[in-house]
Amino acid sequence: MPQWTVEKPLRVATGFTYLGPKFMRENGLKHVTFSTADGALEAAPAMGIADAILDLVSSGTTLRENNLKEIQGGVVLESQAVLVASRKSLIQRKGAIETTHEILERLEAHLRAVGQFTVTANMRGSSAEEVAERVLSQPSLSGLQGPTVSPVFCKHEGKVSADYYAIVLCVPKKALCKSVQQLRAVSLDKPYIIIVICM
């Protein structure tokens, strides 16, 4: 690990000009300089204007996209976002309570979807019920409330028929591979499978 000196200090780009120096002092790190920056801090090391950045991280995707890594033991502060409302405003302002309810519903839906995958597969079958029976015979394929099974209409020799059915189910991340294997196992032929990640 490089030894930082007075002549060659560790250069950190951050918008947290109070928390950054405080964290470094508390952890016995010397010879650190801070440059103030807002937004797109991830580019600072690549541009040569910083050796490290101190910024908010959620999923870490932006860090990875910029070839950066979170330093073990480098968590300065853990935080959470909180929705706060004024009771007076909710009562007095027309539409405020409805808008707040909508925001809360969206937040709740997002939180419930974290770690869930939507799996869609087209599968041959004689009826929606027959396909549903095959799918539900597997323990990982029950979804949240059971699979959705819908006919897929195809045109053969000028006639419309439903030889295939679309199965849609929601599975937790830890059961994804097993669920795909079980879908393949109950299919009469190789199913067409699409996996959608809920974020």
pLDDT tens track of the chain, all 199 residues?
Answer: 568 899 999 999 999 999 999 999 999 999 999 998 777 899 999 999 999 999 988 888 888 888 999 888 889 999 888 889 899 999 999 999 999 999 999 999 888 888 888 888 888 899 999 999 999 998 888 777 889 999 999 888 888 888 889 999 888 888 888 888 888 888 877 766 666 665 4
Q: How many CB atoms lie within 10 A of CB 14?
A: 22
pTM: 0.53
**Residue ranges per structural domain of the chain:** 10-65, 80-113, 116-197
Class assignment of domain 10-65?
alpha beta
Q: Domain 116-197 belongs to what architecture?
A: 2-Layer Sandwich (3.30)
